[in-house]
Structure 1
Amino acid sequence: MKKLLLIRHAKASHETDTGDFARPLKHSGEKDALELAKRLKAADLIPQHVSSSPALRAKTTAGIVTAYLGLPEATYNEAIYEAYDPTLLKIINALPDEFDFIALAGHNPGFSSITTYLTGKYCNMPTCGAVLINFEIDSWKEASSGTGDISWVSEPD
């Protein structure tokens, strides 16, 4: 069995002249990311590995979660930034099979869309929302349309 936790980055500032990739989290976004980490810990949902988009808002969200959960720093995958179903599915299918529980931190609309694709259930993930998808598979290569089931959802208050 494989478990995939998809985390949409927390609320980011739009008042910046740094461009989309370097947008920082708002203070409320930092608080939401910490609250998500607390919910994950309370539910005993601790991923073995975290991979994130390198965009600042996703990187910071992943950093808050990994720090709170006492995990190693996330790895960064540029392909997650602005990715849609075909790219996200390639990323998921290439995840290392040594890990049964992996978290990805990234962006919408891609994360909502891939959740819908993998589970067959419509998903519209809010900022700092998270969804846990369980797969009855032995290898990440087997993840495909309709093979996952949503078992846990978190949305900020």
Structure 2
Amino acid sequence: MKKIVLIRHAKSSWEHQVSDRDRPLKKRGLNDAKLVSQAFKTNDFEPGAVFSSPANRALTTCKIFMENLNIDLNRITIVEDLYDFGGESVVNFLKGLHDGYENVMIFGHNHAFTSICNIFGDTFIDNLPTSGLVVLKMNINSWSDLSKGITELTIFPRDLK
């Protein structure tokens, strides 16, 4: 049995003249990431590994979650393949994970994450919102066998306000 926790980065700011990778979070993004991570804390989830896109907005979201879940920030691995908007690189990354990981947490981007939720989950998600969290559970022993599973949990900021 394998579990993936997908978290789309929090709401980013377009007010700054920076590259796409360097865009920071808006205040609303900071607040939503805290809200969702605190709600997820009640699930007592222990990731075997935590991976983040190198983009500032994803990595900042990841750090907020790690702090609120009391997970050491040194456990974060930055993965270039998670800076993907289509999903193919993310799927290939997941299929290449070490089979010793039962539970992984990844931070990244849309439209990749919405697509992955719909391909591998059993609940249709029209659009994974910023700071949105989805837990997918698959009845597989090897990540290379990644296939349709169940959508075990969704937490969206709008549902917490």
Alignment TM class, shorter chain as reference: over 0.9
Same amino acid, percent of matched pairs: 35
* Structure 1 SS opposite 2:157: coil
1:27-46 map, 5 Å: 27-46=27-46
Counterpart mapping for 1:110-129 below 5 A: 110-119=112-121, 121-123=123-125, 124-129=127-132
Q: 2:86 aligns with which of 84, 87, 104?
A: 84
Residue equivalent to 1:132? 135
Return the letter of the residue paired with 2:9.
H
Partner residue, 1:107: 109
Which range moved further: 75-84 or 105-114?
75-84
- 8 Å Cα contact 1:46/1:69 also seen in 2: no
Contact 1:40–1:46 (Cα < 8 Å) also in 2: no
Shift of 1:119: 2.4
Moved more, 27-36 or 1-10: 27-36
Aligned to 1:11: 11
TM-score (norm 1): 0.93
Superposition deviation, residue 148 in structure 1: 1.5
Q: 2:100 aligns with which of 98, 110, 118?
A: 98
Instruction: Give the 3-state SS of the residue equivalent to 2:137 in structure 1.
Output: strand
Give the drift of 1:72.
Answer: 2.7
Unmatched 5+ residue regions in structure 1? none
CA offset at residue 82 of structure 1?
Answer: 2.4
Moved more, 3-12 or 93-102: 93-102
* C-alpha distance in structure 1 between counterparts of 2:58 and 2:87, whole Å: 18
Question: Post-superposition shift, 1:120?
Answer: 5.2
Query: How many residue pairs get matched?
Result: 155
Q: Unaligned stretches of 5+ in structure 2?
A: none
Give me the TM-score of the superposition, normalised by structure 2.
0.91
Task: Check the 8 A contact 1:37/1:69 in 2, yes or no.
Answer: yes
